[in-house]
Structure 1
Amino acid sequence: MKKSIIAIVMTVSLSANAMVTMGATPIKNNLTNKANRAVINISSASDIKDIKNKIPEVDIKMLKGGQAVVYSNKISETQLLNKLSKLKNVKKVKKPDTISVVKPTDKVEIKTNSRYSYNRSSIINYRSYEYDLIRTEAYKAWSMVKQQKQIKVAVVDTGVDYNHPALKGKIDLANAYNFVSNNKNVMDDQGHGTHVSGIITTNTKDNYGLMGITGQLNVQILPVKVLDSNGSGDSDIIAQGITYAVDKGADIINMSFGGEGTSPEINNAIQYAVQKGVIVVAAAGNDNTDCSTFTPASLDNVLTVSALSMSDRKSSYSNYGNAVELSAPGDMILSTYPNGRYAFMSGTSMATPVVTGIAAIVKAQNPTLTAAQIEKILEKSSVDLGVKGKDKYYGYGKVDAYKALNSMVTLGTSSTKKTSSVTKSVIKK
């Protein structure tokens, strides 16, 4: 899931032991997705020193769950794997797994001016196309929330177009990070992450511009770029991104990516997130198959989402299975797109941020709720579809923001009393 300079200085050929003895400057490698890497299991941090002594061309970064990534820009992947396999204190050696965005099944860009035009005679009324706000009753929930703290949502994806007019002021650039290139430039070079972000939140304050699921609530996107311009990334890079998002204070993590097979490093990072109280939402996938063998959809403690058509039926492409917890609109969802554009896209990648956004609404109403409590609220308040009760196509049902907030009042988990006012003028059915 990887890809010499000929030195004329004789001292370069000194052995590793000689270099250590003489106190030579250690080799520094750049940990990017282009570096040759291997994921290993070790017993303790002391093993790192031993590995470095025996393979001085590498650097090592610890992951969660007793794993570490060994990386090098100085030796080939074959050499790296071969050298590691000979070390007794290295229990397991594997190449990182390749993971990709859940690629949308449809994409239609809107051909219009990249910036809002407030000339009412020519403006496109984006709001009239946002059926996902209506079907999930998100617009009815906004006025019920008396927010107590900013909610931070990490979009672990391809980055974000932070210059997009509908996203300006909604992006936490101070903490954003690009693990693909190992720098702070999180500009989206693929498009997927920008679309996902706009589904969750936008800065719009009128009835014409695009509105995210969270309306005008104080919700910030933390972009963590772990996928490249092709929408692909490696499991060790993704694991680092998940851990980073947790450590930077994410309340919720949106993961609209996946791949078949298991990835211990991603699983360990997710379990770390859950232990820290973070809600983790993942796409079921777009292969119309059982997602029980997909990562991260099948992992424990993940809120897995299937996609619905405009008629509230399982989308033809959507994965299914016992791992599915909730469903949400996923067909032709309108959102932001790079370079100030907008696009309709379809997929469980689009359904996932709908659920993420509604989880953010619930968290905004009562920030003391645990991830498990919020998940239970979303499940119990969902609109049952298909056969009665939880099923493999819809999980517990279609997520519903208004019912979720009402159920919080009934269960006594809301931090404020329910208000009677509902914003009806924002969207007309």
Structure 2
Amino acid sequence: MKTIVSKVFRFKTLFLFILMSTLISVSNAYSQSKDLDNEILVYFLPDSLEIPLKVAELTDASKLIIKSKKLESALKKLSITNIKKAFPDFNAKDTIRITSKNEKIKLPNMSRVFRIKLKDKEDAKLASETLSKENGVLFAEQNGYASSDLIPSDNRFNEQYSLNNTGQTGGTFDADIDAPEAWNIFTGSSLIKVGIIDTGVDGNHPDLSGKVSGSQIQYDEHGTHVAGICAARANNLYNNQNYGVVGVDWNALLVSKAFNDAKSTGDPYLYQIINEAVNEGANIINNSWKLLFDNSQAGRYSTTVRMAFANAYKQNVVAVASSGNTGDKGNIYQYPGGFGQGIITVAATDHNDQWAPFSTYKNYVDVSAPGSDILSTIPGTGFASFSGTSMATPHVSGIASLLKGYNPNLYNDDIEYIIRHSAEDKGTTGWDQYYGTGRVNAYKALQFLQSPYQLNQLSAYGGTDYGSTGTFNTIIYGASGLADGVYIVKRHDVRKTIYFSPMYDHYAWGRGIGSTGWSIESPNFAMPYCDVVEGTLTTNSVQLRTYVYEVWNIAYQFVGWYPTTPSNVTFNYTVLGKPLIAPVISSITQTPNPIGSGVTGTATANLSQGSGNISYSWSYINKPSWVSLSFSGNVAYITNDYVLQKTTSIQQGALAPAFTFTCVASNSAGSSTMSYQPYLDNSLSGNQLVNNKLNVEETKLDQNYPNPFNPVTTIKYQLKEKSYVSLKVYDIMGREVAMLINTKQESGYYSVPFNGASLSSGVYICILKTNDITISKKILLTK
């Protein structure tokens, strides 16, 4: 077969690039303190108050499950605007610890502590005083402040909203990267180096002194400004006074590699200084710049510069680049931000966590970071505020260096994906071209490297060929066993499903380093590549993918499989998450014990272990007809519907016939089963007797239980005299939705189940009518 191969030539334009910062004067700032004055912390005992299952927080206190009428009455008097658990991830098993002396100790069950926000400070004070008097409350106290020892003393730190936003620049509280919280975990390591590929860094600036190696040239103030955002010294003294700003990473060293827009020698020089930074030990390289055409238009692609970044990636270096400043000027695709694999590309946000209009928005944006009016160092001893994606980028480089310092075993892909997955989602849910996966968060990124999270770096071997392309021409650079050049290739999609220990709240990603496959990039720079097939992640498995190539020379002579054959592929990957532990039911406890006639009690399945999304299923056998059961999660609601009437002869200790129900707790890691026989007592213990007969002193309709309910609740009432009884449920518009009772009944205690499965969520009215009285109660159905 005769094949005509056309060689691809790139017409070289003159190399120009400009810095991406737009200099904007600092706006007037004002200070706003972080205010917790209207929030209290309350420890509620079990069986007193709960938030409905699968609800993180409530803004409507009426939706709380309150099991004490007195507590319910007290809460109704308070101006509650929000309630949630203070320690949502705390588990009962965390209450048992083994000391260094091998002694077992018990700690408070912090899952019972709730954060309650009131309308104002005075309401919060009243609420703490009121709830402190309730039997179901261990403590109620106002929330307050703490001053971290790691907040830097630098005298201009309070102006750096990007690190800690209190509203000091007129922006939104907490629209920042949570730097102080991150510093409570780690402030950085001097073993980590960040390469600043820029216009030079003033290593004599008081906030940068002793940190900078490499080029001593400074062409303008941009490089020094970028360096300060990334790694300015903390707690710095100058002339015996607290001084300056602070960088994201306090301790990282900086490798300065300087270029000059007008005098640089073009792409080869960029290639050189990028490689120099890597050779001089940079673990991260920051790139707050773009390539330009000779008419100063952004968007020029450079194979030479791309190769420099490919080389850095192969050496396990993290490269961070700005997305560009053309968001309001044509939104032009540009480089190095658009190179793809091996680049973390950063867009810019402002002090309100809004996308900055100048920020280029494209499909290559990975994350975003504060980039508007960012205060940092400039040559000499000064400071200035600049804007641009140039300023956003070193925030991410600083987080990358914190991660690498905290765990030196992280690969470059590990750092990229931790930063992406820990970002706070902004804009459209999920990834979008304005924010990427979100605005970065240093604290959350470091939390991923702490318990209960586990990071497992794994490998798998051998793959399955899922098909190939037809033949096409591409250029291959830097491949072992192949000279750089044009080749005829056929690309094969190679996949493997791998299994790991069950996890939850977890992520998986491929790591290029050590994998034997290439990407689909063309030209291809032989960068090792492995990724996750979208939508395949489960609790214990994921499908990995890479690509291998059949290669022919331009004479159509077969050269071989590169970098290997499908069956010999190595997939390197990382799984990060919380270990999923199979549940074990240790006991089922009943409250009250026994459950008397006309009473609804609970049986709760208690776990000795278990994590993740645990589901519960219940079954029963030999249930008496006068027992009603409903289930919610790990709780069974048992209503003893045995009717005690005025004519009933009383026999104390009349125990109900035994019946059994079974609970199964399960998650993806396993299941546990336990059976239980509830203890019911149909005697009249606690009721007033006259002549050995029941004496009901008044006709009354009790509040349904549980309330709110979904979908079953129990309605209890009592009759003083024999009477015609009507018990109906109406919606809020007065329309009858259910008739529960419509007959004559003797004096006594009664309970009726009501099932709202066919109704929508909302408030309903239950009305009891007798010969001489009408009583109503509001009931709340929540689905």
Query: What letter is aligned with 2:15?
Result: D
8 A Cα contact 1:148 1:367, kept in partner: no
Work out the percentage of aligned pairs sharing the same amino acid. Answer: 34
Deviation at 1:219?
A: 0.4
8 A Cα contact 1:190 1:231, kept in partner: no
Deviation at 1:257?
A: 0.2
Aligned to 1:210: 244
Aligned to 1:341: 382
Deviation at 1:232?
A: 7.0
Q: Residues 371-396 of structure 1: CA distance to partner in whole angstroms, max 9, x if unpaired? A: 10011101111100001100000000
8 A Cα contact 1:109 1:341, kept in partner: no
Aligned to 1:9: none
Q: Residues 161-184 of structure 1: CA distance to partner in whole angstroms, max 9, x if unpaired? A: 111111101112xxx13xxxxxxx
Larger % of helix: which? 1
Matched residue SS, 1:286: coil
Superposition map of 1:15-414 within 5 A: 94=12, 96-107=14-25, 125-134=155-164, 135-145=176-186, 150-172=191-213, 176-177=214-215, 186-205=216-235, 208-216=242-250, 218-228=251-261, 234-259=266-291, 260-288=299-327, 293-300=333-340, 301-409=342-450, 410-413=452-455
Matched residue SS, 1:258: coil
8 A Cα contact 2:332 2:360, kept in partner: no
Q: Distance in 2 between matches of 1:109 and 1:302?
A: 33
Rg (Cα) greater in structure: 2
Q: Distance in 2 between matches of 1:411 and 1:374?
A: 15
8 A Cα contact 1:105 1:286, kept in partner: no
8 A Cα contact 2:326 2:358, kept in partner: yes
8 A Cα contact 1:99 1:235, kept in partner: no
- Runs of 4+ that moved beyond 4 A: 107-110, 146-149, 230-233, 289-292
Query: What letter is aligned with 1:360?
Result: S
Distance 1:159 1:371, change over 3 A: same
Distance 1:127 1:231, change over 3 A: farther
Q: Distance in 2 between matches of 1:147 and 1:191?
A: 25
Q: Is there any run of 5+ residues in structure 1 with no aligned partner, and where?
A: 1-90, 111-122, 178-185, 416-429
Deviation at 1:103?
A: 2.9
Matched residue SS, 2:448: helix
Distance 1:227 1:291, change over 3 A: farther
Q: Distance in 2 between matches of 1:277 and 1:291?
A: 31
Q: Residues 279-323 of structure 1: CA distance to partner in whole angstroms, max 9, x if unpaired? A: 000011111167673110100221100000110011111111110
Query: What letter is aligned with 2:374?
Result: I
Deviation at 1:210?
A: 3.1
Distance 1:292 1:406, change over 3 A: farther
Count of aligned pairs: 301
Between stretches 250-259 and 134-143, larger displacement belongs to 134-143
Larger % of strand: which? 2
Deviation at 1:204?
A: 3.1
Matched residue SS, 2:366: strand
Deviation at 1:108?
A: 5.1
What is the TM-score normalised by the length of structure 1?
0.65
8 A Cα contact 1:101 1:256, kept in partner: yes
Deviation at 1:266?
A: 0.6
Q: Distance in 2 between matches of 1:397 and 1:220?
A: 27
Distance 1:366 1:318, change over 3 A: same
Deviation at 1:263?
A: 0.7
What is the TM-score normalised by the length of structure 2?
0.36
8 A Cα contact 2:189 2:252, kept in partner: no
Query: What letter is aligned with 1:100?
Result: I
Q: Distance in 1 between matches of 2:198 and 2:407?
A: 27
